[in-house]
Structure 1
């Protein structure tokens, strides 16, 4: 049997865990709840009105953002990302990136292009062009999206994946896939600063690839 002090500790612990997320409507087992959580629809509804304008206003030139991110991630995050992020989450930055494609991997569903931004012939960033994409950088860069607005971690994760899916469907699916090396790329997107990264991995919200040289 637990004594009273132990019960008190348990009560506080349970109270903290229950207040970690807001309780929002979730889908019933038969899918009949009209207010069911639908991350794809949520992203579609805010994409043009809020997401793209936010990224356009917040993004900085990739060389400038990345230089600051490597020396002072918090300052870079406050200026170019989401200063309201969860304390234990890595910083995510919004960027404009323009340069020459020096390598392309389109054999995988997780296709990417490597872009030389400074003209030295070497890749400075890797851009995801899908259809499969890693991470939740687009979601995490937005200061109006907070974890506590969601019922639980699963819903929050699904919402992050929905950004990638929407960008893939509406933007990246229209990009050419052949003979990409030597073409120019113009990107508006976001990336997360992670240790051990070979190149910053940028997830686009807008993307253009120029004609064959």
Structure 2
């Protein structure tokens, strides 16, 4: 009898927790479990077109403008192009639009990249990841509607960042050409976190176009 009395109470508690946390996935009926199964891929699919792309389109600034401001006044650049809700000790991540000519390409590695000249001087200004393997969590960290506290733990937060990169690769980057890229134009909407040293800024795209052979 105790099982019959306790079951509705437990079910109600699970329902309440799901209602209070909007970005957690709905419970899975698999294995008869009551706890929701975290599914970062499904979560990304549900918000990609509805929230991620519109947010980046609205937030992004021209790469040259964003990068120049980021070097002289990171806080000002962050207020305009970054995620103001980021954790205080986290670096700024900026949403950018990058257009220019591809001056170098590395497609031999799974972590393929193209170097883009955005100002027409013949030298690369940014390096763009074109997958399938991508480093970092710039897409995740640029979004002001996704916060660490929305997730159960650090592992789930990290998995969500990987799922964003994987979705960008599946829906956009995997369709890009891989041969004879140098000299073609590139048009990118994405995000990057300024690094240290002399490395080129590494941009992770959410949208990407590569023009025809010149």
Alignment TM-score, normalising by the size of structure 1: 0.85
Q: Which residue does 1:159 correspond to in 2?
A: 160
Contact 1:130–1:168 (CA<8 Å) still a contact in 2? yes
Q: How does 1:9-28 map to 2 (within 5 A)?
A: none
Matches within 5 A, 1:21-170: 32=33, 35-170=36-171
Partner SS for 1:126: strand
Q: Which runs of 5+ in 1 are unaligned?
A: 1-21
CA distance in 1, matches of 2:98, 2:49: 20
1:194 deviates by 2.1
Assess, with a 3 A threshold, how the Cα gap between structure 1 residues 197 and 137 changes in structure 2: closer, same or farther. Answer: farther
Q: Please list the CA deviations of residues 55-84 of structure 1 after superposition, one character each: whole Å capped at 9, or x if unmatched.
A: 000000000000000111111111001011
Shift in Å at residue 95 of structure 1?
0.3
Q: Is the 8 A contact 1:90 1:194 kept in 2?
A: no
The answer to whether structure 1 residue 191 and structure 2 residue 188 are counterparts is no
Could you say what secondary structure the match of 1:208 adopts?
A: strand
Q: Classify 1:152/1:34 alpha carbon distance in 2 versus 1 (closer, same or farther; 3 Å).
A: closer
Unaligned runs of 5+ in 2: 1-20
Q: Take 2:54 and 2:198, find their aligned partners in 1: how far apart are those partners?
A: 28
- Secondary structure of 2:170 counterpart: helix
**Counterpart-to-counterpart distance in 2, 1:137 and 1:151:** 20
**Matched residues in 2 for 1:97 and 1:110: separation?**
19
CA positional deviation for 1:195: 1.7
Structure 2 Cα separation of the partners of residues 106 and 86 of structure 1: 34
Cα pair 1:110 1:129 within 8 Å, conserved: yes
8 Å CA contact 1:127–1:202 kept in 2: the answer is yes
Q: CA deviation at 1:33?
A: 5.2
Q: Which residue of 1 aligns with 2:18?
A: none
Aligned residues: 191
Classify the secondary structure of the residue corresponding to 1:118: coil
Secondary structure in structure 1 of the residue aligned to 2:101 = strand
CA offset digits 1:17-40 (Å, max 9, x no partner):
xxxxx9x7899xx69457211001
Any idea what the Cα deviations from partners look like across 1:114-154, whole Å, max 9, x if unmatched? 00000000000000000000000000000000000001100
The structural deviation recorded for 1:181 is: 0.1
